[in-house]
Amino acid sequence: MSYSIVGCSPGRVYTPDELVKGVCPARGTRARTHDGKEYILCEVSGTQVTVSGSIGRIGTLAPAAGVSPFRFSMFTAGDEVVTKHGAVGAAIVSVTASASMLIWVQIYGACSLIASLSSLPYVQLRPSITGTGTVDDGITSLSTVIDGAWLTATSGLQDTATAAWLNYPVMSRQSIA
**Interacting residues of 27 by C-beta distance below 8 A, sequence separation 6+:** 19, 41, 42, 43, 68, 70, 102
Tell whether 1 is covered by a domain: no
- What are the residues facing 91 on neighbouring strands? 105
Is 30 within 8 Å of 8 (Cβ atoms)?
A: no
Tell whether 110 is covered by a domain: yes
- What are the residues facing 86 on neighbouring strands? 171
Q: What 8-state DSSP symbol labels residue 95?
A: S
Is 32 within 8 Å of 1 (Cβ atoms)?
A: no
SS3 state at 28: coil
Tell whether 11 is covered by a domain: no
Q: Is the dihedral of CA 47, 151, 94, 70 positive or negative?
A: negative
Tell whether 168 is covered by a domain: yes
- What are the residues facing 106 on neighbouring strands? 39, 90
Tell whether 32 is covered by a domain: yes
Tell whether 9 is covered by a domain: no
Tell whether 41 is covered by a domain: yes
Q: Can you give the pTM of this predicted structure?
A: 0.87
- Structural domain boundaries, residue 67: 16-173
Count up the domains in the chain and report the number.
1
Per-residue pLDDT of the chain (177 residues; tens, 9 = 90+): 344 565 578 889 999 999 999 888 888 999 998 889 999 999 998 767 788 999 988 885 555 556 678 889 887 765 554 545 678 999 999 888 888 899 999 999 999 999 988 889 999 898 877 777 888 887 766 667 889 999 999 988 878 899 999 999 998 866 444
d(CA 68, CA 134): 24
Tell whether 46 is covered by a domain: yes
d(CA 39, CA 175): 30
Which residue intervals of 14-82 are DSSP H helices? Answer: 16-20
Element (H, E) at 80: none
